[in-house]
Structure 1
Amino acid sequence: MTGDWFAVRQYPNRVYLISEPCHVNSYLVVGEERALLFDTGLGIDDISQAVRGLTDLPLVVVNSHHHLDHRGGNQHVPAVDFLAHPSGSGLYGAVEPAELAAYAESAKSMYTTYTALRDLDKIKFFLTPDDLTMRPIPDLSSWRIPATEPTGFLDDGDVIDLGGRSLTVLHTPGHVPDSICLWERDTGALFCGDTLLTTTYWAHLTDSDVPTFAASLARLAALDVTTAFVGHNLVADAGPDFVRDVAARFAAVVRDPDIGVVVEGPQGRPVRRVDGNGFAILTAVPGSPATTL
């Protein structure tokens, strides 16, 4: 890789987005004594180079959950600690090459769609952010994600002290059982992983649970959020109204699981789709084959 795979955006209060645009978003939070990297991305390129361009403080990594696109870069980061929720224990093994190959094919298709969208957008609308331009897909035949088991675990209510600032762990299952968010009460910053997204929610997976997901989002909606930093998409941050909108739409799905329309899902199997304002929710269709990531 050439070192330009990542896009970096600076926010107030020493928060940095380190994005693999159109793939996944990671976040660096810098304290006075330590820095925290929330998720490490795909591991296609070395995220530690992007981190070390921003801080040389000792680093702690927190994985929002075990999915490959949020912990693939663990292999590259010289962290003091790798922390995750205990329900993810045993799920950080090496990723099968077939799973990586399937992602690589999906990424190529996504890049083709993105370039067509961007070309049209730049004629008139100018909605695609220039700093988060999707990178061409490199040769991924040698891409690997080895096992990187956490060195420790975090549970709901735990506090991570970075020196001069602290983050509280929120266990927010629903997408998967080990999903967590980090909440900085002093600034109102909420780091969400896949619990809050400005894109399509994959709540149709075999280890997803829609009522539990809705309860986790209701909890987030009750916080005094100023900025929610999300795990995917070109819209990396959202305000409190968006958090409440998503929570309300999930609650509606729980009340009436038959709302929305049945469409072909990301893996070619039927899913039920419910649209919201700037997002959509996919849920499983009873009787359809089970779907894993």
Structure 2
Amino acid sequence: MSGSDWFQVAETGPGAFVIAEPGHVNSYLVLGDELALLYDTGMGVGDIGERVRRLTRLPLLVVNSHHHFDHRGGNASVAGYAADIAVHAAGAALHRDPAPREWLEAYTHIAHGLRKRYEEFRVLDVGGFFLTDSRVEVRPVPDLADWRIEAVRPTRLLREGDVLDLGGRRLEVLHTPGHSPDGVCLWEPETGLLLAGDTLISGTFFAHVLGADVTAFAASTRRLAELPVATALLGHNLRHRESADFVGRVAEAFAAVRDGRTRPYASTDMFGVPVRRHDFDGFAVLTAPYGTEH
């Protein structure tokens, strides 16, 4: 599948582009004078490398926000020309394995279901809401029989406080564990731009998966809320761009979950895994059922 069919690309700030796989994952391209930075490489369904090269011929630095398959799926498509593929040092060993066939098959089923629900929603939407258009259309799912996410060895390890100089703009590395132990956000103080990965999303926060930690999540989101954020770019869902108000609300939500001030109810995540669901305005937090916390 070509990038033009699967990806939706839009400028989302000065010298910054969202490369969305609508309904799935959002990756971001940030352009400096001397270097381009690709934050996450998505699912590996379409060729994100081809899409990036349409936007810039600058040397490319790739940063994976964390090791999960849906954020490093396109690493193989950029490995041949990227100057570096950088990950947090805590996640170096977590990039050794390709996505197992069982995960790919499960997500293929989820993707088809998401498209079906979008089609049903679209029928309702054209009756008067008009929330949907081509910019946010959940794409039809291609034939994924040959879909693979290979393990690509990182070439650079990042740590808290590292500065990535793109020429004319500098982004700081923030270690933000919570969703995973190797979570990395990138912060541009001069513009208030925050690349947030799965530390901030406009959907269901997975705080129940292996390696997740609610206390760490609460600390990381509180830290982000204390920054003078102008624009936060989020890792998932159709609503990819948020303000400081949203960051603060997420931090308050995680503090409430951590402190037992919510009323969760039994539910499942999109893979059918049992969870406790904590609902908030515009998002939800999923935590492990009692007695099964990691």
More divergent stretch after superposition (119-128 vs 223-232): 119-128
Residue matched to 1:33: 34
Which residue type is aligned with residue 117 of structure 1? F
Aligned to 2:173, what secondary structure does the other structure show? Answer: strand
Gap runs ≥5 in structure 1: none
1:50 positional shift: 1.3
2:25 maps to a residue whose letter is V
Letter in 2 for 1:198: S
Contact 2:37 2:61 (C-alpha < 8 Å) held by counterparts: yes
Query: Per-residue deviation at 1:53?
Result: 1.4
On the 8 A contact 1:170/1:183 being kept in 2, the answer is: yes
TM-score by length of 2: 0.95
Identity percentage of aligned residues: 51
Is it true that 1:119 corresponds to 2:89 in the alignment? no
Residue 59 of structure 2 aligns with an amino acid whose one-letter code is P
Q: Which of 252, 270, 273 is residue 248 of structure 1 equivalent to? A: 252
What corresponds to 1:88 in structure 2? Answer: 91
Tell me, in whole angstroms, the C-alpha distance in 2 between the residues paired with 1:134 and 1:84. 29
* Match 1:204 to one of 208, 214, 222: 208
Amino acid in structure 2 at the alignment position of 1:167: L
- Structure 1 residue 153 corresponds to structure 2 residue 157: yes
Superposed structure 1 runs of 4+ greater than 4 Å apart: none
Report which stretch shifted further, 252-261 or 232-241. Answer: 252-261
Residue 53 (structure 1) aligns with: 54
TM-aligned CA deviation for residue 129 of structure 1:
4.7
For 2:229 and 2:86, how far apart are their aligned partners in 1?
Answer: 24
Query: What does 1:228-247 align with in structure 2 at a 5 Å threshold?
Result: 228-247=232-251
Deviation for aligned residue 1:174: 0.4
Shift of 1:286: 1.7
For 2:21 and 2:271, the matched residues in 1 are separated by 22
* Contact 1:82/1:150 (<8 A) preserved: yes
Instruction: Report the 3-state secondary structure (helix = DSSP H, G, I; strand = E; otherwise coil) of the residue aligned with 2:198.
Output: coil
2:99–2:149 Cα contact (<8 Å) kept? yes
- Cα distance in 2 for partners of 1:278, 1:258 equals 16
Q: Compute the displacement of 1:274 (Å).
A: 1.1
Tell me the matched-pair count: 290
Q: Report the Cα distance in structure 2 between the residues aligned to 1:188 and 1:196, rounded to whole angstroms.
A: 15
Q: Report the equivalent of 1:20.
A: 21
CA distance in 2: counterparts of 1:258 and 1:224, whole angstroms:
28
**Inter-partner Cα distance in structure 2 for 1:278 and 1:165:** 32
How far apart in 1 are the matches of 2:138 and 2:248?
29
In 1, Cα distance between equivalents of 2:246 and 2:212? 22
Secondary structure at 1:280's aligned position in 2? strand
